[in-house]
Amino acid sequence: MPHVELEAHRGELTAHCYRMTGSFHDAEDLVQETLLRAWNARERYDPARASVRTWLYRIATNACLTALEGRARRPLPAGLGAPDEDPGAPLAPAPDVPWLEPFPDARLDPDARTDLRLAWVAAVQLLPARQRAALVLREVLAFSAAEVAEQLGTTVPAVNSALQRARATLAEHGAARSADRLREHGEHGERAAVDRYLAAFEAADVPALVGLLARDAVLEMPPLALWYRGARPYGQFMARVYAMRGTDWRTRPVGANGQPAFAAYARDGDRHLLHSVQLLEFADGLVTRNTVFTDPAVLRTFGLPEQAR
């Protein structure tokens, strides 16, 4: 088996391991482990039993299940409790929380774009690991129940039962599967909505930003545990940001999790330095969620320049 045949699946396997773990860094490590295991076991691979792709997914899934044993789920701040009401709350990071990470679109296999929306991946982390695996393998990757049972070393009835429980949990948390498909950024005026948001952000125009928000818009900022719901507290917090960091910002569109995102650069002396990557969700042309990532380790995965040019 040529090594290139295994490498051809790296992109989609990385997306799979990310859905399972909620960590881009862990996903890359687990895929490397998967390909190494597959290469070492290549003489034992039986094409009569499964395709190379199915075989690799079995190895990757089991690597993920092993990695997830005893680990806490990866949440977003909105998954940890009630929203904050004080826009002046202390900005204390919670480094002990294993925060959900974004997935840079530049590192994404085009065929794996669906079901990577950040809020959906966060909801999937609520599931026990084997339910998570059954859901992703069956509904996202469209393996048959028999194939999933083979990959998980269980029975078809057990797979169907796990899938039923997983669906019920996601429905309870209002996290319908994103098979209503992620829209292209330009569809239904979304690109224009992104442009309006970036223009207001760069202008430090808080009233304009608030005017672009849905009534219950969420603003969250891992590794900070605090988060806000509603246009008014969102705007109050943005006013605080501009008061603290100044009103001279630059932005650069990027993509993450198959949804619109941008890098924000704050003025520091005579330079604009990378501050955050912010992922946006829209409905009817209005921002419903903004997840702001400031962790340097997360920012490095986007390969962005440290200074705006």
- Cα–Cα separations (whole angstroms), residue 93 to 89, 155, 268: 12, 44, 22
**Once rounded to an integer, what is the mean pLDDT over residues 73-87?**
94
159-175 pLDDT per residue, tens:
999 999 999 999 988 87
In the chain, CATH 1.10.1740.10 sits at 1-70
251: nearest Cα among 210, 206, 203, 217: 203
Q: What is the fold, at CATH topology level, of the domain defined by 187-300?
A: Nuclear Transport Factor 2; Chain: A, (3.10.450)
Q: pTM of the prediction?
A: 0.93
Which residue has 């950024």 as its token pair? 185
Q: Which pLDDT belongs to residue 59?
A: 97
Q: Which pLDDT belongs to residue 185?
A: 43
205: nearest Cα among 245, 251, 238, 253: 238
In the chain, CATH 3.10.450.50 sits at 187-300
36-49 pLDDT per residue, tens:
999 999 899 999 88
Q: How confident is the model at residue 13 (pLDDT cuts 50, 70, 90)?
A: very high
What is the 3-state secondary structure of 228-271? EECHHHHHHHHHHHHHHHCCCEEEEEEEECCEEEEEEEEEECCE
Query: Distance of alpha carbon 254 from its chain centroid, rounded?
Result: 14
199-232 pLDDT per residue, tens:
999 999 999 999 999 999 999 999 999 999 999 9
Q: 78 CB contacts (<8 Å, ≥6 apart)? A: 218, 220, 227, 229
Strands laid side by side in the 286-293 sheet: 227-229, 213-220, 286-293, 271-283, 259-268, 249-256
- Cα–Cα separations (whole angstroms), residue 80 to 182, 215, 226, 271: 25, 21, 9, 36
What 3-state class would DSSP assign to 126? coil
Torsion of CA 102, 103, 105, 106, to 10 degrees: 110
| pLDDT value at 251 more than 60 | yes
Handedness of CA 69, 74, 78, 82 (dihedral sign): positive
| pLDDT value at 181 more than 60 | no
Q: Which pLDDT belongs to residue 4?
A: 81
Q: Average per-residue pLDDT in the chain?
A: 92
Q: How confident is the model at residue 176 (pLDDT cuts 50, 70, 90)?
A: low
On whether the 1-70 domain is CATH 1.10.1740.10, my answer is yes
CA angle 219, 235, 298 (to 5 degrees): 35
